[in-house]
Amino acid sequence: MVYVHVPFCRSFCTYCDFYSEIAGAQLYDSYSDAVCAEIRQRAGEMDGSLKTLYFGGGTPSVLPLAVLTSLLLALEEAGYGGPFTEFTMEVNPEDIVERGPGYLQSLKSLGVDRVSMGIQSFDDALLRWMNRRHDAERAVQAFRMVREAGFGNIGIDLIFGLSNLSDEVWDATIERAVALEPEHISCYQLTVEGESTLADLVAAGRYTEADDAQCRRQYDRLCEKLSDAGYRHYEISNFARPGFEARHNGGYWNRTPYVGLGPAAHSFDGTSRSWNSSSLDGYTRTVEVLSLEEARIETLMLSLRTDRGIGADFLQEHCRKEDIDRLVEEGALERNGTRYRIPEDHFFVSDEIIRELI
């Protein structure tokens, strides 16, 4: 598994605090040189047991094709070339419309077989508030262009839990998303991140967070509507047509080792986690070896986010029997054969359930 972070955006979203720089041609060459050098340096770490490739960001769709090609060639020279079991590219709808069908065909020729599109909302007022570059019409246009280009695995991202998102608009958003028939839908509850514009708005009293009741209501509505539309709710925030679950992201939840390349990218080798500094100018890498307790907690947290859950042997070995029995009695845990899982109607409070087990 390899993740490549593309730290460029044409504008910054209200809610985002991921490391990113304003896109500009003068930065692309230095970025390419730095990542290609890192690829050469870390070639031996790239395990092909789950051979997925994921370009995330930031906004990977602002990257010139020449830079994307140079990164893929460097990966190939390092022994991690295609074909991949899954090659995902995150895109912004506006980039797709602006760059056109030829750009999409180029992505296909480079091996991209899964497109993840950050739509976030189909309400123009909310999109403006989020400082997104596209409107609802352009989002639909971009999705259709990707489909017409022959991509058979398209995911879209949506956001709920905004105090300025009414239930009626949220219902309409879900229905419009389902009408597009994407293979995958990721839905995230809005959170206030420390270095975001949203955090500044909250501090200034210009935005009030949605209360738990509104967030829970919108999450429940999401689960109901996507279930009715035939999507499998396979992870707390992720829904897929059967067979289109994200393989790369599934590797994260299974604690499969992966290499993260580029500024601010994270990696995991099975026993330690590492991360690159958030800088285009000579980024460095920090390594932290996980203790047995940290590995135990990670396994619990990541496994119980999924509908598959966690092995009964692991849970019984590492958690108190009385806690497991109580949660089962309360309906917050259920046993299915050799595994325990959090049932969907308790996914919204999964953090609290996991804390009780830890």
The Cβ-side half-sphere exposure at 129, using a 13 Å CA radius, reads: 16
In terms of Cβ atoms closer than 10 Å to its own Cβ (0-12, 13-18, 19+), residue 354 is: middle
Residue 358 sits in the same domain as residue 239: no
pLDDT at position 119, please? Answer: 97
Residue 238 sits in the same domain as residue 333: no
Residue 254 token pair: 């299974």
What confidence category does residue 128 fall into, taking pLDDT thresholds of 50, 70 and 90? very high
Residue 73 sits in the same domain as residue 186: yes
Cis-peptide into 83, omega within 30 deg: yes
**In total, how many domains does the chain have?**
2
Residue 95 sits in the same domain as residue 224: yes
* Strand pairing class (21-22; 8-9): parallel
Residue 245 sits in the same domain as residue 351: no
Q: Could you read off the pLDDT of 69-101 as tens digits, one per residue?
A: 999 999 999 999 999 999 999 999 999 999 999
In terms of Cβ atoms closer than 10 Å to its own Cβ (0-12, 13-18, 19+), residue 288 is: exposed
The H or E element that residue 160 is part of is strand 154-160
Is 284 within a domain?
no
Q: Please determine, for residue 107, whether its predicted confidence score (pLDDT) is greater than 80.
A: yes
Cβ neighbours for 132, distance < 8 A, ≥ 6 positions apart:
13, 118, 120, 121
Residue 315 sits in the same domain as residue 225: no
Q: Is 259 in a helix, a strand, or coil? A: strand
Is 225 within a domain?
yes
**Looking at residues 207-223, what average pLDDT do you find?**
95
What confidence category does residue 20 fall into, taking pLDDT thresholds of 50, 70 and 90? confident
pLDDT at position 216, please? Answer: 96
Dist CA 147 CA 153 (whole Å): 9
Residue 9 token pair: 């955006």
pLDDT at position 349, please? Answer: 96
CATH of the domain at 239: 3.20.20.70
pTM as predicted: 0.95
The H or E element that residue 57 is part of is strand 52-57
Least confident of 125-134, 214-223, 289-298, 345-354: 125-134
Is 336 within a domain?
yes
The H or E element that residue 107 is part of is helix 93-109
Residue 299 sits in the same domain as residue 226: no
Q: Could you read off the pLDDT of 260-279 as tens digits, one per residue?
A: 999 999 999 999 999 999 98
Q: Please determine, for residue 347, whether its predicted confidence score (pLDDT) is greater than 80.
A: yes
**56: phi then psi, degrees, rounded to nearest 5:** -125, 180
Percentage of the chain modeled with pLDDT above 70 = 100
Least confident of 26-30, 259-263, 313-317, 346-350: 26-30
Question: What pairs with residue 285 in β-bridges?
Answer: 276
For the chain, what is the total number of helices (H) and then of strands (E)?
13, 17
pLDDT at position 21, please? Answer: 80
Domain of 337?
292-358
Higher model confidence: residue 23 or residue 148? 148
Percentage of the chain modeled with pLDDT above 90 = 86
In terms of Cβ atoms closer than 10 Å to its own Cβ (0-12, 13-18, 19+), residue 126 is: buried
- Average pLDDT of the chain to the nearest whole number: 95
pLDDT at position 10, please? Answer: 83
Contact 102, 110 (CB under 8 A): no
Is 53 within a domain?
yes
Residue 24 sits in the same domain as residue 98: yes
Residue 130 sits in the same domain as residue 35: yes
Task: Give CA angle at 263 (262, 264), nearest 5°.
Answer: 115
Q: Please determine, for residue 147, whether its predicted confidence score (pLDDT) is greater than 80.
A: yes
Contact 62, 10 (CB under 8 A): yes
CATH of the domain at 330: 1.10.10
Dist CA 259 CA 42 (whole Å): 8
pLDDT at position 18, please? Answer: 76
Is 280 within a domain?
no
